[in-house]
Structure 1
């Protein structure tokens, strides 16, 4: 079991960029890759991605260098302790249950939040919410718009799910952040949406 580290009083949000790549990479490497060795590349168009852990890392780094991979990093000093991946549907076309989603959608959002991850040492301290809020702030700075996310819907579920499996947070968390529930997606996920105003 990981030792819990107290969340700093003033964690800051920074965008994923070449300047913050090492902090992001450090978070991934401390966990031997996220969710079974990945580098959060699944939701991108992965054509050209090399095999395995190294291929995913190099592909993600290239996407960041090209400015087509976005995330809000939560930083404790220079160390990344969480992130929330976001981007346009063109940047992040691959989502779980995509056939169902495409059949039922009324149109594409301006942005989508597809993955949230928190360092195991900082879990159960509200860091997931910090990361999502950070993503919404960065989206606002890019002009805002309609944002979708696809959290786990645990409504009516009595069995507790490990935080390590909640790759995009929960419906309850997004409701607290002001998202509106739209419809189910798959067996245990849903589509939720919010309008984010442009920030000046």
Structure 2
């Protein structure tokens, strides 16, 4: 049974161990959505890592780690949508949801933890985490099953989100979708 812990200063070493020295996916360090395009390119892998570490040390909500027997096995990035400036600039990921919106932008599961349903458990934990922090709506931007290579599954799949109570708002292009789960009636 996994344990889910937020990424913060005290859990940073676990995150670093999970992501390894390269920062997963070409040195992203899960900063892709948290930085604008020019900022992301200029930062390089080291700058991206430093950016995320500084946010963790400042206590910003960033996401959750899945620990299995005390070992980091998975990650989900979940945070307030405004903390992800790339979402606002993307035609594909634009949203008009009212209220306090949180975004689930990324999943990573270590190869030792794959094919065990851990990503789905991370998704459910992320919704709970967002709810505890005042989210009224949680959005995701998954791939439409079968229309993307396996390397793009870090966004999750539509089926995974709908199984967790999300509704498909609309398909965006041939390969992506906007999904949403309302937690509290928008005011």
The TM-score, its normalising length taken from structure 1, stands at 0.81
The corresponding residue for 1:25 is 16
Match of 1:181 in 2: 168
Name the structure 1 match of 2:30: 40
Q: Aligned partners of 1:38, 1:160: CA distance in 2, in Å?
A: 19
- Tell me if 1:166 matches 2:147: no
Superposed CA RMSD: 2.4
User: What are the Cα deviations for residues 128-185 of structure 1, in whole angstroms up to 9, with x where unaligned?
Assistant: 011111111111211231111010112xx4x7842x4201110011111110000122
Count of aligned pairs between the two proteins: 182
Does residue 1:68 correspond to 2:60, yes or no?
A: yes
Which of the numbers 97, 118, 130 marks the counterpart of 2:121?
Answer: 130
User: Highest Rg: 1 or 2?
Assistant: 1
Paired residues of 2:107 and 2:156 also in contact (CA < 8 A): yes
Whole-angstrom distance in 2 between the partners of 1:52 and 1:173: 31
Per the alignment, residue 146 of structure 1 pairs with: 137
- Structure 1 unaligned segments of length 5 or more: list them: 1-9
Take 1:115 and 1:161, find their aligned partners in 2: how far apart are those partners? 16
Taking the TM superposition and a 5 Å limit, the aligned residue runs for 1:67-146 are 67-95=59-87, 98-102=90-94, 105=96, 107=98, 110-146=101-137
Report the 3-state secondary structure (helix = DSSP H, G, I; strand = E; otherwise coil) of the residue aligned with 1:20.
helix
Q: Where in structure 1 do 4 or more consecutive aligned residues deviate above 4 Å?
A: 46-50, 106-109
Unaligned runs of 5+ residues in structure 2 are none
The whole-number CA distance in structure 2 between the counterparts of 1:178 and 1:126 is: 16
**CA-CA distance at 1:37 after TM superposition:** 1.8
How far 1:186 moved relative to its partner?
3.3
Name the one with the larger helix percent: 2
Deviation of 1:44 (Å): 0.8
Contact 1:13–1:74 under 8 Å retained in 2: yes
